[in-house]
């Protein structure tokens, strides 16, 4: 029923956790396949994915193109797009099943949870929830659950290195997006490195520049 699509490029240690969190879905019979689309990793990412039983594809590096390639190859009726450092919380299976049964014409995303216990992290999580509720704008680190038919109807992910998640969210529209009663735990290292406020302002500048017509490829050259 469900194909999980994960783009990778030297995914790092959290990738193992991300794959392990999917095991209950495989055992339950919900997850038909895990499709890992690698953009040219030079570490052990591909070996890890292969050992975990994933279908491993290769594509030119660029998250939008990798996601698109994975969706094109996926065999499930539903698609779950995940970043390689997004670890689903325990109990994620039931909310996904309920959404697929009750909301076939809508996409869904997970509540964001940072791997950081600071007060800053909790404040930013509430801000993300507000952004999603008001603007209908979940980012890729929250995952995206969508039927293959709706994904195709919306035009799928564009072959962009950045802003591909925002573009697809806009295409779907707020009325066709809903939050799942489960969390995606994501890496907060960039926020800790740059500072919570500075990193958020930086992301807002990139989003605004894209909205004013800046090319995703040009923005990606300055995004770290």
Domain boundaries, position 52 = 2-190
Domain count, the chain: 1
For residue 149, is it within any domain? Answer: yes
Give CA separation, 141 vs 53, 205, 212, in Å. Answer: 23, 18, 23
Question: Taking residues 163-187, what's their average pLDDT?
Answer: 97
What values do phi and psi take at 43, rounded to 5? -100, -150
Q: What is the DSSP string of 111-163?
A: EEEES--SHHHHHHHHHHHHHHHHH----GGG-EEEEHHHHHHTT---S-SSS
Would residue 215 count as lying in a domain? no
pLDDT tens for residues 185-204?
Answer: 999 999 999 999 999 999 99
Strand pairing class (107-114; 177-186): parallel
Q: Inform me whether the pLDDT recorded for 112 exceeds 90.
A: yes
> Is residue 51 within 8 Å of residue 117, measured between CB atoms?
no
Q: Is residue 57 part of a domain?
A: yes
Task: Give yes or no for residue 134 having a pLDDT over 90.
Answer: yes
Q: Mean pLDDT throughout 132-159? A: 97
Confidence at 224, pLDDT banded by 50, 70, 90: confident
Question: What are the pLDDT digits (tens) for 52-106?
Answer: 999 999 999 999 999 999 999 999 999 999 999 999 999 999 999 999 999 999 9
- The pLDDT tens digits for 8-48 are 999 989 999 999 999 999 999 999 999 999 999 999 999 99
Angle (CA) 163 224 219, round 5°: 40
Structure token digits, residue 80: 């779950």
Strand partners, 35: 5, 55
Q: Please give the Cα distance from 62 to 94 (Å, whole number).
A: 32
Look up the CATH number of the domain holding residue 50: 3.90.550.10
- Domain contains 14: yes
């Amino acid at each position: 029923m469900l194909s999980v699509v994960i783009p990778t490029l030297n995914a790092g240690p959290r990738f193992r956790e991300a794959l392990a969190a999917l095991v209950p879905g495989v055992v339950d019979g919900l997850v038909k396949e895990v499709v890992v689309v690698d953009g040219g990793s030079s570490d052990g990412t591909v070996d890890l994915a292969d050992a975990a039983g994933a279908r491993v594809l290769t594509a030119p590096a660029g998250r939008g193109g990798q996601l698109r390639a994975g969706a094109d190859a996926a065999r499930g009726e539903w698609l779950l797009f995940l970043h390689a450092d997004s670890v689903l919380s325990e109990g994620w299976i039931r909310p996904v099943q309920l959404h697929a049964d009750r909301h076939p014409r809508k996409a869904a995303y997970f509540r964001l949870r940072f791997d950081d216990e600071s007060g800053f992290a909790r404040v930013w999580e509430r801000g993300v929830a507000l952004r999603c509720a008001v603007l209908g704008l979940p980012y890729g680190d929250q995952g995206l659950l969508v039927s293959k038919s709706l994904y195709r109807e919306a035009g799928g992910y564009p072959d962009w290195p950045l802003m591909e998640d925002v573009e697809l969210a806009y295409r779907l529209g707020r009325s066709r997006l809903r939050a799942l009663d489960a969390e995606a735990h994501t890496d907060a290292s960039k926020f800790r490195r740059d500072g919570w406020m500075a990193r958020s302002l930086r992301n807002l500048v990139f989003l605004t520049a894209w909205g004013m017509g800046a090319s995703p490829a040009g923005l990606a050259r300055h995004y770290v």
